[in-house]
Amino acid sequence: MIRKPTIVIALCYLLAGCSEFIVGPVGNNRNVADFESIGEIVKSRYPFLQFKRINWDSLLTVYRPLAEQSKGDEIYTVLHDLLRELKDGHIELRTEGGFPTMTYEWPRFQGGRAYNPLVVRKYFDKELRVAGDGNMEYEILPQNVGYIYLAAFADGNWVNDLDGMLAYLSSTKGLIFDVRNNGGGTLFIANFIVSRFSSASIKYSAYWPDGTPNWTGTIMPGGNYAYHKPVVVLINGASFSAAEVLPELMKQILTVTTVGDTTGGGGGSIDVFYLPSGKRIKIPTAYFRRFNGDMIEWNGVPPDILVPQTEADIKQGRDKQLEFAIARLK
């Protein structure tokens, strides 16, 4: 999706039923046209074929007979399975009626079960405040440590609430910025957040499939209130896409430490493509690297300090990653 400078990150759904009936003869020309369109889009625009060592032409040879033999809505299953071969948590197939299906669940996504916002609330002696049109929660922990949870990098002016939140938390010893189980969204939001913690400019780049820079962005310090005390960013395997770019950018700030587990591994920047029938797909057409040159795709962003956490911990009412962050800052 590269649309400078906005990145739209798809939400995750498993393949469910289709809204139309299965009709039409075998060899439906529209189905074949959709198949051929996806084949060309991925071949010419998808940036990870070489990185993932995928022989796309070979896969097209395998799936083409299935597309030719499909009747009506049977093509959805064919296209879904073809796109799943790319093993990319960003890729989305939509029906003509707009129903989204994700084709792949990244392996570390299950790590999101080792997080529960209800357990987080047990560490506070007061009710969390809600801001940003419901995208953010914040409050001061009993140890005089500030806490902000960001649910998604959704578009909107709601992020302007951040300045007021930071002003409210200004007397704290340090701040926990929690993006665990955040599936991503718009990169602009990540830039906006980073600008409130950085005292110097930070540059980053997106890359075309051939590895050449597509565009380079610069984050400048800004906002009505800046927070330069120690910050811990909490991440886990269900932090994906923009929620991986954010901690990687924050790592460049000397007052920031990332804590938790390695993020999901979604380094692509997606675009929307319409197929001949009216169906839509979202696929990455550019990508981001970490500052050391490593791919975010598949690899994720590792924390500065690894703090393992399990479902068993959560069932026992403990958030060890949050506990570590509090102890580090208090």
pLDDT in tens, 83-100: 999 999 999 999 888 788
Nearest to 193 by CA among 145, 236, 225, 217: 225
pLDDT of residue 88: 98
> Which CA distances in Å does 168 have to 26, 134, 138, 247?
64, 17, 9, 23
pLDDT of residue 95: 84
Mean pLDDT computed over 315-324: 98
| Residue 12 predicted with pLDDT over 50 | no
CA angle 163, 193, 108 (to 5 degrees): 135
The separation between the first and the last C-alpha atoms of the chain, rounded to the nearest angstrom, is 41
> Which CA distances in Å does 262 have to 281, 293, 297, 298?
28, 17, 12, 11
Distance (Å, rounded) from C-alpha 176 to C-alpha 146? 6
pLDDT of residue 144: 98
Identical fold for domains 1-105+268-287 and 108-265+300-329, yes or no, is: no
Residue type, 231: V
Give the pair of three-digit tokens for residue 115: 């997080």
Distance (Å, rounded) from C-alpha 288 to C-alpha 290? 7
pLDDT of residue 99: 80
Mean pLDDT computed over 272-283: 94
323 φ/ψ angles, rounded to the nearest 5 degrees: -60, -40
Homologous superfamily, domain 108-265+300-329: 2-enoyl-CoA Hydratase; Chain A, domain 1 (3.90.226.10)
What mean pLDDT is reported for the chain? 90
Using a cut of 0.75, tell me whether the model's pTM lies above it.
Answer: yes
Nearest to 232 by CA among 211, 214, 259: 259
**Alpha-helix runs per DSSP H in the chain:** 29-45, 56-69, 74-84, 117-121, 161-168, 187-195, 242-250, 311-315, 320-329
Q: In CATH, what is the architecture of 1-105+268-287?
A: 2-Layer Sandwich (3.30)
Give the pair of three-digit tokens for residue 306: 């690894």
Cβ pair 71, 22 in contact under 8 A = yes
pLDDT of residue 28: 62
Mean pLDDT computed over 220-227: 90
For tokens 């369109």, what's the residue?
37
Confidence bin at 4 (pLDDT 50/70/90) = very low
| HSE-up (13 A, CA, CB side) for residue 247 | 36
| Residue 177 predicted with pLDDT over 80 | yes
Distance (Å, rounded) from C-alpha 129 to C-alpha 146? 12
pLDDT of residue 13: 32
Domain positions in the chain: 1-105+268-287, 108-265+300-329
- Please write the tens of the pLDDT for every residue from 118-166: 999 999 999 999 999 899 999 999 999 999 999 999 888 888 899 999 9
Give the pair of three-digit tokens for residue 124: 């506070």
Nearest to 302 by CA among 313, 293, 311, 290: 290
